[in-house]
Amino acid sequence: MKKRILGKSGLEVSALGLGCMGMSFSYGPPKDKEEMVKLLRTAVERGITFYDTAEVYGPFTNEELVGEALAPLRDKVVIATKFGFNTEFDPRDPKEGVSMLNSRPDHIKEVAEASLKRLKTDVIDLFYQHRVDPDVPIEEVAGAVKDLIQEGKVKHFGLSEAGVQTIRRAHAVQPVTALQSEYSLWWRRPEEVVLPALEELGIGLVPYSPLGKGFLTGKMDAKTTFDSTDFRSKLPRFTPEALKANQALVDLLGRIAEQKNATPAQIALAWLSARKPWIVPIPGTTKLHRLDENIGAVAIELTSEDLREIDDAAAKIPVQGDRYPEKLEQLTGR
C-alpha cells in the first residue's frame, strides 16, 4: 500500500483510508458487529492504516466498534474521530430552536476522554471538529485541542467542512493537520477556494463521500430506492429525478474505466488522488469485495491527459440536486 503525508504535519497514512460510519449508522440498520470487526481487521492486513469514526455515529457505537476491532492492531493504525455535536440530537434531523452543535472547550475535553475509552486507546491520532460551531470562537476550539495535544491525549488537530477564514484562524492557534470535506466528481466546490488555501498552509485534505455516497460506483439508477433508515432517502440528490439526470457522470466514469480495465469507483478514487499528493480519500464500505475494489484504485495512474479528458467531459454535465437539505447545508462552509 502506498503512503501519503497529510500536509506539513508529518502524519503518514495509507494512500486510501476507510470511513467506518456506515457500519453502524446512517446507511440503513447497523451491520453485524462480528462481521464488521473482521472487515476492519482485514483492512489492516490489506495495508489500510487510516480509519475514520466519530462520537456521533450511533452515537457512540461506531467508536466502540472501531476500538474493539483495532485495539490488537493499535500500533499499525491511525484513528481519526470527531467532536462538536450534541449527541442527544440526531444530526441528520435538525430541530427548530435546538442547537445541534457544541464545541465549548470543556465539552471538547469531555468528549476526548469518552472517545479515548471507547476507542480503547491512550491517544487520539487526529481529532476533528465535526462542524464549526458559530457560538464558540474557533480560537477557543483550537486552544482546547492544543491543550489536549500538550497533555498527550491527542496528536493532531483537524477541521471538517470549515470555511477558509475559519481554517486560517484555527491554524494560527494550533496547526491544522487535515481538513475533512466532501469532495468528489459530483461535489467539486472545495476546488474554488479551499484547496488553494490548504496548499498554501500545508494542510492535508481528507475527502469523505469520495464515491458520492455510493452513486459514483455505477450501482444505482433512477429506480433505486432507500430504506427510511438510510440517510440518502432524505437527500435531494438521491431523488429519482436527480439520479436519472446525474447518470451522465457515472457513464463518463464507466468510459474511462473501460480504457483502464478498472471500475467506475476505482476511477472516481484515482481521480481524487491524482489531484494533489496530500489528498487521502476515505471511502466507506461494509463489504470485503468493495474494500478490495477500492484498494485497487491506489494502483491506477491517471495521466494529465486522462485528467483533462475527465474534467472537460465533467464540465459539460450539470449535477442536479442539492447535496443536503438546507438546514444541514447551513452547517458547512462556516
- By annotation, the residues acting in catalysis are 57
* Helices and strands per DSSP (H, E), number in the chain: 12, 9
Give the separation between CA 109 and CA 150, rounded to whole angstroms.
Answer: 13
CA 33, 34, 39: angle at the middle one, nearest 5? Answer: 95
Burial of 271 (0-12, 13-18, 19+ CB in 10 A): buried
Say if residues 6 and 178 touch (Cβ distance below 8 Å): yes
Give the separation between CA 246 and CA 324, rounded to whole angstroms.
Answer: 16
Q: Which three cell numbers stand for residue 73?
A: 492492531
Say how many CA atoms lie within 13 Å of 150 toward its Cβ.
7
Residue found by looking up cell 483550537 in the block: 142
Q: What is the H or E stretch that residue 253 is in?
A: helix 247-260
Q: What DSSP string runs through 72-112?
A: GGGGG-EEEEEE-B-TTS-TTS--TT---B---HHHHHHHH
CA 78, 84, 85: angle at the middle one, nearest 5? Answer: 115
